[in-house]
Amino acid sequence: MAEPALGAALPLRARLSFAAGHFLNDLCASLWFTYLLLYLHAVLGYSHGLAGGLLLAGQVADGLCTPLLGYEADRSAGCGRYGRRKSWHLAGTTCVLISFPFIFNPCLGCKEGTPQWAAFIYYLPFIVIFQFGWAATQISHLSLIPELVTSDHEKVELTAFRYAFTVMANITVYGLAWLLLNLQVDQPERTEHLGFQDVPVFRNLSLIVVGLGALFSLFFHLGTKEKLYPLGSVPQPKESTPLLQKEPTRSPRSLLVWKDWLLEPSFYQVAVLYMATRLIVNLSQTYIAMYLTNSLLLPKKYIATIPLVMYISGFLSSFLMKPVNKWIGRNLTYFVGILVILAFASWVSLSREMGAEIYGVAVLLGAGSATILVTSLSMTADLIGTNTHSSAFVYGAMSFTDKMANGLAVMLIQNLHPCPTELCCPACVSFYHWVMVLVTGGIAMAATVFLCCIMIWPIRVRFHGPGCSGRLQGDPHDDIALQGLNEAGIQHHETESAEDRSLSSTVN
């Protein structure tokens, strides 16, 4: 595949192959967040503490690996001419493929009397290897976005393609889960509720997921062309780079390295908003199955159909991201998503029992989650701008806050459960009802506060490097403008009309 010229639109084939690169991660993440706790609780019979401890261990491993991998991915030169991002992607994919099937299989050698701490020790190495590989794949894939495209709206479109594949992966997982659960015809009296008889369902599901993910990863590596820059170099201007900048009197600005990001206020603004977004998306995905089976007391087939409806609505919503962003901007698009999440939380809090309306609730959660996730990822790409050589560190730091917060939140929720076993008292029935309300509505209100901070103090890089102190005295109400990878990385600030906004790359 020919490398696209700087400033040229990325071909459709290149966009599709790029989006396929995270498909394996998305498949595994869908199983991990939606079914891990349910599998350990209801199928294998482990305690709340052990299940929460394993998930926390995985999130801690992921959180620690992510920024370190981001730092190393920015420094390494890759394997020959293969590219540093794709090299790390290949290494991460290999780790995921060899470790993930063991997580959704019973402990080998464990018997009925085996203590639970032995099972914890058995699963822990596989979880750590899986999370290392998952983090390497995620960071390398996200870091390719600012390198493949440079304009603001192209980043939104590429992120939307990526999220569309994420939703397709979730649809695939839930569709397969529904199919496998409905194929259990040999014991019809035992198919309404989960139990040890469902071990083959999750085993087969994990093996199918790994096989499909491997094929899509191959498509990514064959179809994606990474730009190759010598280690430590800055991308040079192309023929399409304008000779006259809008403000030629400003001096060139050096690109940021990882230490400079720690001095940027906008870095922390985006990190906190991204963390809140991931808490809403991941925790709602983690506890939706528990809510359906333990609070609403629905048959186990709903653990596949309701998440499937959620992600179909998310898939459709992802295609609206580009026009909506062009029309109302980043901040208002995110706010619309928050309003949808709050509508979901209000509906759940007012309805203790649900029939067909559960599908309407699922549509709201899916659409709202898609909107805030795509927009927060686009904000992160906007923050990076032309600093693509350190983008892996930025994404790594963002993911660190996300993983640690999610792991600690799950462990806290597990320890707050009123009883050691499922459904032993009325408090158990209502527990996951209020979990769903608080992890969506409560965190959504906090995210609104973080969004207001960004609206008051817009995303804007204030570089603190040597020789750039004069650059810090700009108008605080200016926005950072994302230009192509030119030699100076010069920022320009201007007020745009409604007609110009669709052609510009100003961060909203």
pLDDT band at 190 (very low <50, low <70, confident <90, very high): low
In this prediction, residue 8 carries a pLDDT of 60
Q: pLDDT band for position 414 (50/70/90)?
A: confident
pLDDT at 358 over 80: yes
pLDDT at 187: 59
303 Cα distance to chain centroid: 21
Spatial distance between the Cα atoms of 495 and 503, rounded to a whole number of angstroms: 13
User: By CB neighbour count within 10 A (0-12 exposed, 13-18 middle, 19+ buried), where does 82 fall?
Assistant: middle
- 198-213 tens-digit pLDDT: 899 999 999 999 999 9
How much is the average pLDDT of 326-346?
92
Q: Does residue 254 surpass a pLDDT of 50?
A: yes
Which residue has better confidence, 473 or 87?
87
pLDDT average, residue stretch 127-132: 95
DSSP codes, 150-172: -SHHHHHHHHHHHHHHHHHHHHH
Give the lowest-confidence range in 78-82, 424-428, 500-504: 500-504
The winner for highest mean pLDDT among 354-363, 390-399, 422-431 is 354-363
pLDDT in tens, 363-383: 999 999 989 998 888 888 888
Least confident stretch, 64-68, 217-221, 376-380: 64-68
Q: Is the pLDDT of residue 450 over 50?
A: yes
Is the pTM higher than 0.85? The answer reads no
Residue 68: per-residue pLDDT: 80
Least confident of 269-273, 291-295, 352-356, 504-508: 504-508
C-alpha distances (whole Å) from 443 to each of 31, 222, 286, 406 are 23, 40, 15, 12
Q: Is the dihedral of CA 221, 227, 229, 234 positive or negative?
A: negative
pLDDT of residue 309: 92
Q: Beta partners for 506?
A: 481
Question: 78 falls in which pLDDT band (50, 70, 90)?
Answer: low
Mean pLDDT of 179-195: 71
Which CATH code for domain 12-226+257-463?
Answer: 1.20.1250.20
Q: Provide the mean pLDDT of the chain.
A: 78
Task: Select from 86, 90, 29 the least CA-distant residue to 59.
Answer: 29
- Higher-pLDDT residue of 428 and 172 is 172
Token pair, residue 508, equals 């909203």
> 19-23, 79-83, 151-155, 468-472: which has the minimum mean pLDDT?
468-472
